[in-house]
Amino acid sequence: MTKFVPTICPYCGAGCGMLLVVKDGTVVGTRPWPEQPISQGKLCIKGWQAHEFIYHEDRLKKPLIKEGDSFKEVSWERAIKFVAQRLGEIRDKSGPDSLAFLSSARCTNEENYLLQKFARAVIGTNNVDHCARLCHASTVAGLVAAFGSGAMTNSISDIEEADCIFIIGSDTMSQHPLIARMVMIAKEKGAKIILADPRRVNGMMKYILDNGLENKAFISERTEDFEKLKEVLHSLSLDEVEKITGVAKGEIEKAALLYAQAKEGCIIYAMGITQHTTGTDNVLSMANLAMLTGNIGRPGTGVNPLRGQNNVQGACDLGALPNVLPGYQAVTDDDIRMVIAKVWGVAELPSHVGLTVVEMMNAALEGKVKAMYIMGENPMVSDPDISHVEEGLNNLDFLVVQDIFPTETARLADVVLPAASWAEKEGTFTGTDRRVQLIRKAVEPLWESRPDWEIICELAKEMKAGEGFSFSSVNQIFEEMRKVTPQYAGISFTRLGQPGGLQWPCPKEDYPGTPILHGKVFTRGRGKFHPIIYRKPAESPTDEFPFILTTGRVMSQWHTRSMTGRSPALNAEFPEGFVEINPEDARKLGVSDADSVEVSSRRGKIQTKARVTDKVAPGVIFMPFHFAEQAANRLTNPALDPIAKIPELKVCAAAVRPLMK
């Protein structure tokens, strides 16, 4: 017997729909879901292979407790009791802030909600964060400051309506293929496409302002602090911009003219502009450019960050961040804490901002954080300066990892808890365009794995959390989420039954959702201009480290490869890491294509294979960060953006040395 179960892809943040093909109780394939509005009957290479990892022999099958240098299989009862005992002991002896929690953009909204609730209501700490800190923390900080909401302003389908699309810091074709399809449709309709270096945006605004191309009515009616931006731009020279960026002044002028004169101008960006010590400034520049030209609040316009993981938007929405509760409500707001504490059935909630991902690792190394609980994250591949991360995790008194595979991080744990995959549970994901959608259980959890939400509830009960975690279904969890998350208040499982779900904000049950933000008024009232002055990266090339190393992704792999690395078809595309080197630099180094090389930075060195290609400019090298065996993040710089605390993963000084052939 074959059935087709509609669900949402577990990879990038586009939110594509698919059908899981289930035959005799086993997921045997995926198929397109024609009625779903994002994928529209299409799938990318990852979507077509999304089922392959489910039955891999590496799946964690039973709870594990480390004894000496090896793990021993134990019962769930023993594992839960042991974890509860150790977390309670450490909290009682060293205080709630001696514990830290990593939530997960791979898990459902309900599971992220429960883990941050557990950290705050059961343990008593705001030390909870997740991988958004490593990808789009600067998006949230920047867009909240400019517009009042830290999310993509428009719907993915709106891209088709643009007549000018400004793509910056995004390899859209590779990383979000079905969003790139919308770009190509727009291009076929006549849209102009601009691909840009993030540092040239001030130059574009300078040209727009000098030539009277700004939208004066929009600026006057809907924004504030324009004079502050104007003052900075007046003192800027396009010759200076050309020198900084290496982009010809004429090209900057041409791009500015195309965007400013577009009837509907759309900005698309990704981690190429966010993973910098100036990440928040870069995002604010995007907001400035959109407001300067009035390209916001209509179909085909807007500022549209493309989120990297399937539920990174939802994990942020539901409070898996150290400074906000669900719905981006500040942990420092006494009234908000009181309302949520009442719903959660606790006397009080912690009021000071907690630690971010990188800060947690620093605190672990310093002995201030003594225990960590990591759900569905793999910082031993994803975080900057992995050697430092490893030292921090090894310095903990207690580490719990909850995952579906024995990741590089799980190998360091004291307890490993086997989680169910997305095909084995129910819940919701929120895509990059704020689209909340159902995932549906296709098969029962394999072996002794359990859905993450069930594990958290069992642990909370063992730690005497009262009725606050007595949920018997994800629907019950969602109903509580609605009470404390204003943007989700009008959403219900019943309403999510339609293909495409609902887009927040959706404040009431009779509200249709919000495809486009900031239509007539910004969330914060008036949009706020922020004058931005160019700042150099934390590291620049030197004689010892003459290259700029930047990192990114490849199409067939995803994040730390815990899933795609166990998919035969996807792994065959890119089975190992590499470094891209410009032909000019390769000649100087005496390096040929496929040669073994050593890549080093101030933090470490790795060995990998060279790919000689003009895809990178002279003086720049590129490495995908997916591969633990050739871990680019052993080299990357943990220097932080001062506002968003996002590390500078896109720029570090590096050297390349050929190895003996």
User: Which are the contacts of 575, defined by CB distance < 8 A and separation ≥ 6?
Assistant: none
Q: For the chain, how many structural domains are there in total?
A: 4
CATH number at residue 270: 3.40.228.10
Least confident of 141-150, 192-201, 471-480, 584-593: 192-201
- State residue 573's pLDDT score: 85
What is the spatial distance between Cα 637 and Cα 621, in angstroms, rounded to a whole number? 15
- 392 and 331 fall within a common domain: yes
- 205 and 281 fall within a common domain: yes
Q: Which DSSP string do the residues of 439-465 spell out, in sequence order? A: E---SPPPTT-B-HHHHHHHHHHHTT-
The amino acid occupying position 520 is: K
Q: Which residue has the higher pLDDT, 438 or 201?
A: 438
- 494 and 552 fall within a common domain: no
- 258 and 176 fall within a common domain: yes
- 202 and 320 fall within a common domain: no
**pLDDT (average), residues 341-348:** 96
Cβ(287)–Cβ(146) below 8 Å: yes
Report the 10 Å Cβ neighbour count for 152. 26
Q: What angle do CA 34, 39, 41 make, to 5 degrees?
A: 30
**pLDDT (average), residues 554-573:** 87
Q: What angle do CA 451, 455, 459 make, to 5 degrees?
A: 170
Helix (H) or strand (E) segment spanning residue 113: helix 109-117
**pLDDT (average), residues 327-356:** 97
- 250 and 166 fall within a common domain: yes
- State residue 555's pLDDT score: 84
- State residue 135's pLDDT score: 85
Q: Examine residue 534 and state whether it is found in any structural domain, yes or no.
A: no
Q: If you search the block for the tokens 């495809």, which residue do you land on?
A: 515
Q: Examine residue 280 and state whether it is found in any structural domain, yes or no.
A: yes
Least confident of 194-203, 274-283, 450-459: 194-203
Q: Is 660 a residue whose pLDDT tops 80?
A: no
**pLDDT (average), residues 115-132:** 96
| Mean pLDDT score across all residues of the chain | 94
Q: Is 117 a residue whose pLDDT tops 60?
A: yes
Q: Which range marks the domain in which residue 21 is found?
A: 2-48
- State residue 245's pLDDT score: 80
Q: If you search the block for the tokens 């961040």, which residue do you land on?
A: 321
CATH number at residue 476: 3.40.50.740
Q: If you search the block for the tokens 């990440």, which residue do you land on?
A: 279
What is the spatial distance between Cα 417 and Cα 49, in angstroms, rounded to a whole number? 26
- 555 and 640 fall within a common domain: yes
- 168 and 95 fall within a common domain: no
Q: Examine residue 57 and state whether it is found in any structural domain, yes or no.
A: no
| pLDDT classification of 200: cutoffs 50, 70, 90 | low
**pLDDT (average), residues 308-330:** 95
**pLDDT (average), residues 87-98:** 98
- 611 and 489 fall within a common domain: no
Q: Which of 495, 528, 561 is the last residue of a domain?
A: 528
**pLDDT (average), residues 634-657:** 93
Report the 10 Å Cβ neighbour count for 499. 16
Q: Is 658 a residue whose pLDDT tops 60?
A: yes
- State residue 378's pLDDT score: 94
**pLDDT (average), residues 454-458:** 98
CATH number at residue 24: 2.20.25.90
**pLDDT (average), residues 382-389:** 91
- State residue 197's pLDDT score: 56
- 322 and 467 fall within a common domain: yes
Q: Is 495 a residue whose pLDDT tops 70?
A: yes
pTM value?
0.95
What is the spatial distance between Cα 18 and Cα 5, in angstroms, rounded to a whole number? 8
pLDDT digits (tens, 9 = 90+) for 503-558: 999 999 999 999 999 999 999 999 999 999 888 899 999 999 999 999 988 888 88
Q: Which two tokens stand for residue 473?
A: 């279904």
**pLDDT (average), residues 138-145:** 95
Q: Which of 494, 528, 562 is the last residue of a domain?
A: 528
Q: Is 199 a residue whose pLDDT tops 80?
A: no
Cβ(194)–Cβ(277) below 8 Å: no
Q: Examine residue 592 and state whether it is found in any structural domain, yes or no.
A: yes
Q: Examine residue 365 and state whether it is found in any structural domain, yes or no.
A: yes
What is the spatial distance between Cα 515 and Cα 531, in angstroms, rounded to a whole number? 29
Helix (H) or strand (E) segment spanning residue 204: helix 201-210
What is the spatial distance between Cα 415 and Cα 79, in angstroms, rounded to a whole number? 8
What is the spatial distance between Cα 183 and Cα 179, in angstroms, rounded to a whole number? 7
Q: Which two tokens stand for residue 86?
A: 């150790």
| pLDDT classification of 571: cutoffs 50, 70, 90 | confident
**pLDDT (average), residues 576-598:** 95
Least confident of 389-398, 482-491, 513-522, 560-569: 560-569
Q: Is 653 a residue whose pLDDT tops 90?
A: yes
Q: Examine residue 326 and state whether it is found in any structural domain, yes or no.
A: yes
Query: Quick check: helix, strand or coil at residue 280?
Result: helix
- 115 and 171 fall within a common domain: no
Q: Examine residue 539 and state whether it is found in any structural domain, yes or no.
A: no
| pLDDT classification of 198: cutoffs 50, 70, 90 | low
- State residue 661's pLDDT score: 66
- State residue 564's pLDDT score: 87
CATH number at residue 616: 2.40.40.20
